[in-house]
């Protein structure tokens, strides 16, 4: 379940999977009330009254971490490779991290299986996939940095960005990309 306050400042992700309950609170660094340890449950319930039951389940232990970007010089060495957050973690603000990881994993399998050697397949894989992944990381980082700006500046920029076809095409480039190895499954449109 995802909660989103009318303010653009706080977000909550609460989830139950395999009998375990997990909650992630996201907020600007400057939000002192929201980032109190132990968690200030009343402050979060005021922002998300519909998630009161989930917020009340949160334990007393908490920590606050900034989102990190991982930018390795190489994704592989010899016959070993890293994929996903281990290779290229990115801010979650554009929702492209998991999709990018899945695309890179599929491409890795396709290119290594079709190469004369694992090492050559890894070289081709990184040369092909790295530009889109770096672009996606950059856009996610820029989009995420806006959350630290004052609302009076941030809100008009986000509204403009949502209306700009050019900006949205950059933000959604990875989402609209047909992954290597999935070309046969891509929808056929007049521009392809």
- Does the structure show a pLDDT above 60 at 6? no
Q: CATH for 76-183, among 3.20.20.370, 1.10.150.530, 3.50.50.60, 3.60.15.10?
A: 3.50.50.60
At residue 164, the 3 state secondary structure works out as: coil
Distance CA 37, CA 162 (A): 34
Kindly give the interhelix angle for 97-113 and 118-145, rounded to the nearest 10 degrees. Answer: 170
Q: Which residue in this structure is represented by tokens 């941030």?
A: 154
Q: Is residue 121 within 8 Å of residue 113, measured between CB atoms?
A: yes
pLDDT at residue 190, as a whole number: 64
pLDDT at residue 14, as a whole number: 67
**CB within 8 A of 87, min separation 6: which ones?**
70, 72, 75, 81, 104
pLDDT at residue 49, as a whole number: 94
**CB within 8 A of 164, min separation 6: which ones?**
none
> Whole-prediction pTM value?
0.67
**CB within 8 A of 155, min separation 6: which ones?**
8
- Listed by start position, the domains of the chain span 2-56, 76-183
Average pLDDT over every residue of 13-38: 78
Could you read off the pLDDT of 60-85 as tens digits, one per residue? 777 777 777 788 889 999 999 999 88
């Amino acid at each position: 379940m995802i909660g989103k306050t009318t303010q653009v400042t706080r977000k909550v992700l609460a989830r139950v999977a395999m009998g375990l309950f997990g909650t992630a609170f996201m907020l600007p660094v400057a939000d002192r009330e929201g980032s109190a340890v132990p968690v200030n449950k009343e402050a979060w319930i005021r922002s998300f009254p519909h998630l009161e039951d989930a917020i009340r389940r949160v334990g007393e232990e908490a920590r606050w971490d900034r989102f990190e970007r991982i930018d390795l010089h190489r994704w592989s060495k010899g016959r070993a490779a890293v994929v996903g957050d281990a290779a290229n973690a990115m801010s979650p603000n554009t929702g492209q991290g998991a999709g990018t990881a899945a695309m890179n994993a599929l491409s890795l399998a396709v290119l290594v299986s079709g190469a004369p050697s694992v090492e050559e397949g890894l070289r081709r894989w990184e040369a092909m996939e790295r530009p889109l992944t770096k672009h996606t990381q950059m856009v996610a980082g820029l989009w995420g940095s806006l959350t630290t700006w004052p609302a009076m500046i941030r809100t008009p920029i986000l509204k403009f960005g949502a209306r700009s076809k050019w900006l949205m095409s950059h933000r959604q480039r990875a989402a609209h990309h047909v992954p290597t190895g999935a070309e046969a499954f891509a929808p056929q449109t007049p521009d392809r």
